[in-house]
Amino acid sequence: MAATTSKTNLLGLERPELEKFFGTLDAKPFHARQVMQWMYQRGVADFDSMTDLGKPLRTRLTECAEISLPAVLGDQLSADGTRKWLLGMDEFNSIETVFIPEDERGTLCISSQVGCAMNCSFCATGKQGFNRNLTSAEIIAQVCVAQRVLGAARPITNVVFMGMGEPLANYRNVLPVLRILLDDFGYGLSKRRVTVSTSGLVPNLDKLARDCDVALAVSLHAPDDALRNALVPINQVHPLAELMAACRRYVANKDRSHVHVTFEYVMLEGVNDSLAQARELAVLVRDIPCKVNLIPFNSFPGTRYRRSPQAMIDRFGEYLWSRGIVTITRRTRGEDIDAACGQLAGQVQDRIHRAERRPSSTEALA
């Protein structure tokens, strides 16, 4: 996000906060709701263009507030229609946001951090290191930018927190964005069309269960602790038994009893793709309402992993189906522009200079 003056950036303020701000201007709460609609539903960032606001209020807003969007540093279009933007967050750092068009929907994959501290061994983002959390304004601004570029002809119907960073490690700033996405005066999305993905930060997963009703995806990638410790180091802080218990609690919530957890499982040749591991996975998730999303590994420079052969992916998935577990193989999108799952890198000035290690408890609960 570009450097700003002392003006208040209205992006990222959920409705009660925005109404409180308008109260300081001696304006009414409905004025805040009007501005939310202008910002999020109409994509307008100029107060003078908000014609249903009185001119004195528009003048006051111009003096003390702003709607600040990041600079678009790059815009790439894949042969399959996937689009990726490089957005400048500050002088040294940038993040990537991806739009995936399909016949019946348009999914925007947004980032929550500059880099990532989770250090998953198969992910390009983790190899870039970690700089900082994104603010709520910087997170929701990704949706605003995409909406402006795509226009009404290509609406955003789904938003997934599957870009750069671990969303639950930036819980304080992610939660207001979730509420804006669901708010009728914000983007008005269905709770089933907003998905938070986590590598397994159990305390904040429990907070999410209490604070906001959205779809949940868990980056699992291994059926046992020994392997998951190597692939997803946060497992050393919150092992599988603890994570599975949290998933059960999430779906047991009275408002969420009809939903399921999506378990994401990247397919790595000779690492986690054997039939024996499919059996272990089936046992691990058998009492959790769920589906399994098999993700063909997407390569990046310097990785030691290879994608499982399609025959092995099919065999793995067929076994899970035979055990009554809904299983889908994700279609790889945007690979030609490094926009596929696990490939987002952006530009990160790493400030933790980590070696191969597990994330600390401080990083896990930032």
Residue 307's CATH number: 3.20.20.70
Q: How far apart are CA 265 and CA 248, in angstroms?
A: 18
Q: Which domain holds residue 145?
A: 71-364
Q: How far apart are CA 296 and CA 306, in angstroms?
A: 9
| Whether residues 61 and 77 fall in one domain | no
* Overall number of domains in the chain: 2
* The last residue of a domain, from among 18, 50, 66: 66
> Dihedral angle at the C-alpha atoms of 107, 320, 120, 210, nearest 10 degrees?
60
CATH number for the domain harbouring residue 15:
1.10.150.530
| Whether residues 96 and 133 fall in one domain | yes
pLDDT of residue 131: 87
Residue 3 is assigned to a structural domain of this protein: no
| Whether residues 191 and 223 fall in one domain | yes
> Dihedral angle at the C-alpha atoms of 47, 48, 50, 51, nearest 10 degrees?
160
Residue 42 is assigned to a structural domain of this protein: yes
| Whether residues 27 and 171 fall in one domain | no
Q: Give the largest CA-CA distance in the chain.
A: 69
Residue 4 is assigned to a structural domain of this protein: no
Q: How far apart are CA 196 and CA 216, in angstroms?
A: 5
Residue 271 is assigned to a structural domain of this protein: yes
Q: Is residue 174 exposed (0-12), middle (13-18) or buried (19+ Cβ within 10 Å)?
A: buried
pLDDT of residue 5: 59
* The last residue of a domain, from among 66, 90, 106: 66
pLDDT of residue 258: 60
pLDDT of residue 361: 43
| Whether residues 56 and 183 fall in one domain | no
Is residue 144 among the annotated active site residues? no
Q: How far apart are CA 125 and CA 138, in angstroms?
A: 18
Q: Is the pTM of this model over 0.85?
A: yes
| Whether residues 299 and 185 fall in one domain | yes
Is residue 96 among the annotated active site residues? yes
| Whether residues 87 and 52 fall in one domain | no
pLDDT of residue 81: 87
| Whether residues 26 and 93 fall in one domain | no
Helix (DSSP H) and strand (DSSP E) numbers for the chain? 12, 14
| Whether residues 118 and 19 fall in one domain | no
pLDDT of residue 123: 86
| Whether residues 211 and 354 fall in one domain | yes
User: What's the CA angle centered on 337, arms 335 and 339, to 5 degrees?
Assistant: 60
Residue 51 is assigned to a structural domain of this protein: yes
Catalytic residue, chosen from 96, 166, 264, 363, is 96
Q: b or e along 43-59 (b: 16 or more beta carbons within 10 Å of the residue's beta carbon)? A: bbbebeebeebeeebbe
Catalytic residue, chosen from 247, 290, 341, 363, is 341
| Whether residues 88 and 220 fall in one domain | yes
| Whether residues 106 and 38 fall in one domain | no
Print pLDDT tens along the chain (366 aa): 444 458 999 999 999 999 999 999 999 999 999 999 999 999 999 999 999 999 999 999 999 999 999 999 999 988 888 999 999 998 888 899 999 999 889 999 999 999 889 989 898 777 778 889 999 999 999 999 999 999 888 899 999 999 999 999 999 999 999 999 999 999 999 999 999 999 999 999 999 999 999 999 999 999 999 999 999 999 999 999 999 999 999 998 756 556 799 999 999 999 999 999 999 999 999 999 999 999 999 888 888 999 999 999 999 999 999 999 999 998 766 565 555 554 455 555 556 654 444 454 444 444
Q: How far apart are CA 61 and CA 81, in angstroms?
A: 38
